[in-house]
Amino acid sequence: MQIFFADGLIFNYFCVIMNTITITPIARIRTEFPQKFGIPRQPLLAQNTVAEIVFEPEFRNPDCIRGIEKCSHLWLIWEFSEFAGRQWSPLVRPPRLGGNRKMGVFATRSPLRPNPLGLSAVKILEILDDRTRGPVIRVSGADMMDGTPIYDIKPYIPYADSIQDAVTEIFTQPKTLSSVRWECDSPLPHSDRRIVALEEVLMQDPRPAYKHNDTGSYAFEFAGLHVEFCVEEDVVVVRTCEPLTSSLT
């Protein structure tokens, strides 16, 4: 649109206001991780974890996800809500690199970014028609804290999104620990999905990279469980695993 002034000058008006946009959460994800510690550092590393994508009321129209059942995986664009508002820096120290090596923020997936947005691929398990919550998408492999806001959902397209010859010389395939040894009783059978998922999480070694030689105990909450563990050489030792409530459902 053009605005004409009395002196003959023309001002092109493009309806851009302060170079900002407003985005609104379309959903929130309900996961088994009530706190940051313990969350796998990338999606799909612990494939037995289960989460639910619950849409905000204005997006609960089933037409919004029509056809999504034909997809096996989704891209989720979400917010590092625990880091929103924090000061970002051009250089960051990625924990995966030991916390000592500085990298450019845009060469990493650090949550301390100018716009604290994350991107994760997840696998669709099923789509529920919930009478109260509307359509709910159950997924596995989510690397997000419970309640994380989701800003967009897109289908994962294998022929376009999977680049066979892609490389990075910065980050390599994370080394997993060799096994899990239990020094306490499990409140659930070891065949229970939550225990299988817990062992997957533990074998990713939740400790900060700069403490990978630390034999001290660490604790976190997962799937309604309070878990305490340590690492001896490359074996995870579970010292405590007990329900947070009187029963697990």
Beta bridge partners of 136: 54, 128
Note the pLDDT of residue 21.
83
Note the pLDDT of residue 245.
76
CB atoms within 10 A of CB 191: 7
- The fold adopted by the segment(s) 179-243 is YaeB-like fold (3.30.2310)
Separation of alpha carbons 211 and 25, rounded Å:
35
DSSP letter (8 states) at residue 104: E
Report the greatest alpha carbon distance in the chain: 84
Task: Kindly list the distances between the CA atom of residue 197 and the CA atoms of 52, 152, 159, 222, in Å, as whole numbers in the listed order.
Answer: 16, 26, 29, 9
Which of 51, 39, 49, 48 lies closest to 204, judged by CA? 39
pLDDT, one tens digit for every residue, the chain (249 residues): 444 444 444 444 444 445 678 899 999 999 999 999 999 989 999 999 999 999 999 999 999 999 999 999 999 999 998 887 789 999 998 877 766 789 999 999 889 899 999 999 999 999 999 999 999 999 999 999 999 999 999 999 999 999 989 888 887 777 889 999 999 999 999 999 999 999 999 999 998 877 777 889 999 999 999 999 999 999 999 999 999 975 454
Sheet arrangement for strand 179-182: 179-182, 235-243, 225-232, 218-222
Note the pLDDT of residue 14.
44
The CATH architecture assigned to 27-161 reads Beta Barrel (2.40)
Separation of alpha carbons 25 and 157, rounded Å:
23
Note the pLDDT of residue 18.
55
Structure tokens at 216: 């001290």
Residue with tokens 């029509």: 66
Note the pLDDT of residue 95.
73
Question: What is the DSSP code string of 10-35?
Answer: EEE-----TT-------EEEE-S-SS
Domain boundaries, the chain: 27-161, 179-243
Note the pLDDT of residue 177.
92
Pairing of strands 117-130, 134-140: antiparallel
pTM: 0.86
